[in-house]
Amino acid sequence: MNTALNRGQLESLLLGILTAGPAHGYEIISALKDRSDGAFDLPEGTVYPVLHRLEREQLLASEWEDSGGRKRRVYRITAAGETNLQQAKEHWRGHVRSVNLILGVQS
Amino acid sequence: MSDRIDAYLDELADRLPAAGRQTRRTLAEAESHLRDAAEHLSMQGVSADEAQQHAIADFGSAAQIAGAIRRADGWGWALTTELTGLAARLVAVGLVAIGASAVIARALAVFLGTPAIFGLPASAHPAAASCAHWLAVQPGATTCIQAGTLEASDDITLFHGALGVLGVLLGAAILVVSRVRRPASRMLPRALGPAIAATAFLGAGAGLFVLGFSNALIEHAGGRGLWFTESAVSLAAAAIAGVLLLRALVREAPPRLTAA
């Protein structure tokens, strides 16, 4: 099932993926697809502008690395990013709980 | 076989709104991603050409990526602020030109006589109330036309001079704002401002000259000096803008390829 992401959700997912450790864009996007079981199958290139914005907001940091003869920009989550992710998780839990209560879904 | 990824990156580069560090990084990351994805597909047995095709399709069209970049980076807002800044600079320069014209016209009036610069047209038939007002505020004048001319001289110098001062203040404010809030990258070409200024001032200069010339032919009276002064200042501003335009064009010109 291909699921659309609301504004802010993709940012949280990217931060969440990077809690596992630094990764370059292709790895991040592959993880997004794999870990969502293909649900978040968005145009891969549209993720980069979001990564850049998160970096500008200092939630991520990045640097070029050479591997296998190819230069790759490797991203890692910052302390501010970790804090932001915790807040996003709390917000998400509250949101899911509220929706479940209305829909009668047992969580 | 042509490299589909190279062609795609060329298309993407054309769609990105500005050259600069951010664009260079976007293109470098896009290439790295596409080649990783194509390599991954090739390892699964897909032909090299097909692998590139699939990698590009999964990455998204150049239009999609350019749109996503604009949305994420707030480039629409950045472009709006840059255009607003450019418009404000052009307005400031225009106001300063009006003020400078008034000052120069006033100086010329000292040598050529006030009627030649600020005089009312011969066909003017001021109302009695206007004449009474002018004669009251210009006690040195003996006729209505003379009083009207002196009043026009004072009013034009005052109001146009005030516009010039406003232009200087606006220019100073723009300078302060641009130093405090310097944009990370330029979206508009450097030549755009000088190109607009050169065109606008050239048009204004030509128009004002024609107005002054027709005034001289038809009215056979004073007052055209102001048109000619404003025309000369506009043409001078157009010349300065033209020089700046040439400099910007030379600076932004792509490097010339030379045969080995």
Residue B114 pLDDT:
84
Instruction: Tell me if A70 and B35 make a contact (CB, 8 A cut-off).
Output: yes
Q: What is the overall mean pLDDT for chain B?
A: 85
Instruction: Quote the CA–CA distance of A67 and A71 in Å, as a whole number.
Output: 6
Q: Give the angle subtended at the CA of A84 by the CAs of A79 and A86, to the nearest 5°.
A: 95
Nearest chain B residue to A71, by CA: B32
Give the pLDDT band (50/70/90) at residue A7: low
Query: pLDDT tens digits, residue range A60-104?
Result: 999 999 877 888 999 999 999 999 999 999 999 999 999 999 998
Can you name the residues that pair with A23 across neighbouring β-strands? A75
Residue B259 pLDDT:
46
Instruction: Quote the CA–CA distance of B45 and B113 in Å, as a whole number.
Output: 91
Closest CA–CA distance from residue A56 to any residue of chain B (Å): 9
Question: Is the pLDDT at A107 greater than 80, yes or no?
Answer: no
Cβ atoms of B51 and B42 closer than 8 Å: yes
Instruction: Quote the CA–CA distance of B122 and B108 in Å, as a whole number.
Output: 21
The pTM (predicted TM-score) of the whole model is 0.55
Cβ atoms of A90 and A82 closer than 8 Å: no
Q: Give the angle subtended at the CA of B188 by the CAs of B184 and B189, to the nearest 5°.
A: 110
Instruction: Tell me if B68 and A49 make a contact (CB, 8 A cut-off).
Output: yes
Bridging pattern class, strands A23-24 and A70-77 = antiparallel
Share of chain B above pLDDT 90, in %: 45
Instruction: Quote the CA–CA distance of B87 and B192 in Å, as a whole number.
Output: 11
Give the pLDDT band (50/70/90) at residue B19: low
* B42 close contact with A: CB closer than 8 A: no
Query: pLDDT tens digits, residue range B170-186?
Result: 999 999 988 877 665 56
Residue B117 pLDDT:
84
Of A43, A48, A53, the CB nearest to B29: A48
- Identify which of B60, B64, B42 has the alpha carbon closest to the alpha carbon of residue B52: B42
Average pLDDT of B92-118? 90
Buried b (16+ CB within 10 A) or exposed e, B98-131: bbbbbebbbebbeeeebbbbbbbeeeeeeeeeeb
Q: Give the angle subtended at the CA of B18 by the CAs of B13 and B23, to the nearest 5°.
A: 55
Closest CA–CA distance from residue B29 to any residue of chain A (Å): 7
Query: pLDDT tens digits, residue range A8-67?
Result: 788 999 999 999 999 999 999 999 988 888 788 788 998 998 999 899 889 999 999 987
Instruction: Quote the CA–CA distance of B16 and A36 in Å, as a whole number.
Output: 30
Nearest chain B residue to A33, by CA: B58
Residue B41 pLDDT:
92
Give the pLDDT band (50/70/90) at residue B254: low
Residue B75 pLDDT:
65
Can you name the residues that pair with A75 across neighbouring β-strands? A23, A62
Phi and psi angles of residue A60, each rounded to the nearest 5 degrees, phi first: -130, 160
Residue B260 pLDDT:
40
Q: Complex ipTM, two decimals?
A: 0.85
